[in-house]
Structure 1
Amino acid sequence: MNKRHSWLFRRLAILLVCFSLLIPPPAAAAEVCFTAVNDNVLPLTADTMPIWYKSLIYVPYTVFDSGSTGVDLGLNSTYDPSSATVNIYNLRQILAFDLNAGTCRDPSTDTYYNVRAVIRNGRPYVPLNTVCTFFGLSRSYNSIRQGYLLRIKNEAVVLSDSKFIEAAENLLNMRLREYNRSLNPGSDTPSTPGTATPSAPSTAPTEEEPVTASDVSVYLAFRCTDAGSLSDLLDALDAKSARAVFFLTPQVLKEHGDLVRRTLGQGHSVGLLAQGDTADQTRLLLERGNELLAGTAHSRTTLAMVPDDQRAALSAQGWVCWQQTLALSPTLSSGVNTFAANTLRRLNRLNRQTVYLTMDADPGAVRVLPTLLRQLKNNHYLIRIPMETRL
Structure 2
Amino acid sequence: MKKHRISSFLIAAVLFLGLAWPIPASAANLYFTAINNSVAPLSSNTMPFWSGGAIYVPYSVFDANLNGINVSLGLYTSYNRSNNTITLFNLRQMLVFDLSKGTCWDEMTGATYSARAVMRGGTAFLPLNMVSSFFGLSYSYNQLPYISQGYLVRIKSADAVSDDASFIDAAQTVINNRLRDYTQSLSPADTTNPSVKPGTNPGTGTNPGTTPGTTPGTGTGTNPGTTPGTNPGTTSPTTPPAPPEEPDETETVAYLALRCESAEGLASAMNALDAAGRSAVFFLTPQLLEEEGDLVRRALGTGHSVGILADSGEPVEELLARGTAALEMAAHTRTTLACVPAGQRTALEEAGWVCWTETARLQPSDTVSPSSFASSTIRRLKNLQGPVYLTLEGGGSAARVLPVLLRQLGNSDYIVSIPMETRL
TM-score of the aligned structures, taking structure 1 as reference length: 0.49
**Higher percent of residues as helix:** 1
User: Looking at CA atoms only, which structure, 1 or 2, has the larger radius of gyration?
Assistant: 1
TM-score of the aligned structures, taking structure 2 as reference length: 0.46
